[in-house]
Amino acid sequence: METIILRGHSKTNARLLLQLANKLQFSGKTLSASEEEELGIAISINEGLQSGLLSEKEKKDFLKSL
């Protein structure tokens, strides 16, 4: 499974891409502004956890504080 995220400024073109995705048997979804922000935060947290800059205990403490 592969995930592709596209961002554009045209609702018409976004609908066209979603129609094409459906015809190619891909699933697609339009994200709201809050979902987009949450995705960005999740990606940033994941990158930080994988960077190795914090010890395992520091990572766990941080996640518990959320």
More confident residue, 2 or 12: 12
Q: What is the pLDDT of residue 16?
A: 94
Question: Is 0.75 topped by the overall pTM?
Answer: no
The residue behind tokens 């697609």 is 28
- Tell me what pLDDT residue 47 has: 86
What pLDDT shows up at residue 24?
94
Distance between CA atoms of residues 53 and 59, nearest Å:
9
Q: What is the pLDDT of residue 48?
A: 79
Report pLDDT digits (tens) over 11-55.
Answer: 999 999 999 999 999 988 888 999 999 999 999 888 877 887 778
Number of CB atoms found within 10 A of residue 32's CB: 9
